Structures are given as structure tokens and as C-alpha cells.
Amino acid sequence: MKKLEEKIIKEGSVLSDSVLKVDSFLNHQVDPFLMKEIGEEFSRLFADRGITKIVTLESSGIAPAVMAALTMDVPLVFARKRKSLTLTEGLLTADVYSFTKEETNTITISEKYIKKTDNVLIIDDFLANGQAAEGLINIVSQTGASIAGIGIVIEKAFQDGGKLLREKGFKVESLARLQSLSGGKVEFAEEALT
């Protein structure tokens, strides 16, 4: 997605060979106009998949996922990373390790929001090693629902997550694929994978 790539070049900040900071438009301050276009692009990419629900992980996945849900006219469910006093029964859980934050979170979704009959699209902000996506796949699989695909805003193609998910047979659509962050410079993968 050209507009997203331009935004990454203009406003992204390379912190290391494996970390890209995009907090000016995606995961701290949110550019709602870009998120709307991202939602529309996910809707286009998964138009033939019969999506009935979108699942994401709080908090950075919520903005692009809510716009996709709005465009697709389906509900959005987000997995919580922290315990809630009001979310205590019938929980689906999975452990997810964050390499960026160097911590493991037990993510949770109430089982009443994903049914066996659902066809779920998983959306997340970043795909690196695939831990967040695997955690969400685990939770959705516990319900017996189908996974229609995985939509990623930014994929670090130089890490194994995307490759592993695609090898497992998942349709993974990434709107921007980073080939390298070496030397403080963003390089995009030449071709997008589907």
C-alpha cells in the first residue's frame, strides 16, 4: 500500500535493525484517515473470504481492525492483555511473548464473542516472529471457528513470522513489507506476498 509506505518513510523512525517506531500514526497517535484507507484495503483483500468477525490484540491492532470491521460491516473483538474485573468467566486464553517489550502476556477473549460458525479475520499492526498472530490463532481455534486469513499493517519480512504462517496455509496479507531496517534505513520488499 503506497500511502502507508510513504507514511513509514516520512514519519517512521528506525530504532535498530529490528525495531521501527511508528507511534506518530499507528500505535500511539493514530491517523484516522490512513486507518480508514487501511480498513478499506483489508476489506478489498479479503472480500471473497466470507468474514463474519474480526479479531485483534489490544491496543495497536484496534485502530486498523475497527476500520476494517466498519468497512466489512462485521463485529470486532479484541483480545485483552491485562486482567479485567468484569471479564472473569468463560475466558479463552493464550500466552504471547512480545520481543519489543520483552514480556509475556496472557491474552484473553470471552468465549461468548466468537462462535463455532464464525469465519474470522485476524488483524494486527506488526508481524515479526508471529507470536501475536499465533496467540490469536490459538484462541480462535479453541472455539472451533474458521480462520479466513490474517491482515497485517506492517510485516518485518526479514523475520520468520510471515513465512511460518504462510507455510501453515494461512492467507496472510501485509500492507507494507519491510525487507530491512539495517543502517537506520527502511527498505521495502520488492513484491507483496499473498
Q: How many Å apart are CA 60 and CA 102, to the nearest integer?
A: 17
Q: Is 131 flagged in the annotation as binding?
A: yes
Q: Which residue has the cell 496467540?
A: 135
Q: Is 105 flagged in the annotation as binding?
A: no
Q: Is 156 flagged in the annotation as binding?
A: yes
DSSP class of residue 171? -
Q: Is 119 flagged in the annotation as binding?
A: no
- On whether the CB atoms of residues 172 and 166 are closer than 8 A, the answer is yes
Q: Is 20 flagged in the annotation as binding?
A: yes
Cα–Cα separations (whole angstroms), residue 43 to 22, 51, 103: 23, 9, 32
Residues that constitute the known binding site for xanthine: 20, 27, 156
Residues that constitute the known binding site: 20, 27, 128-132, 156
Residues that constitute the known binding site for 5-phospho-alpha-D-ribose 1-diphosphate: 128-132
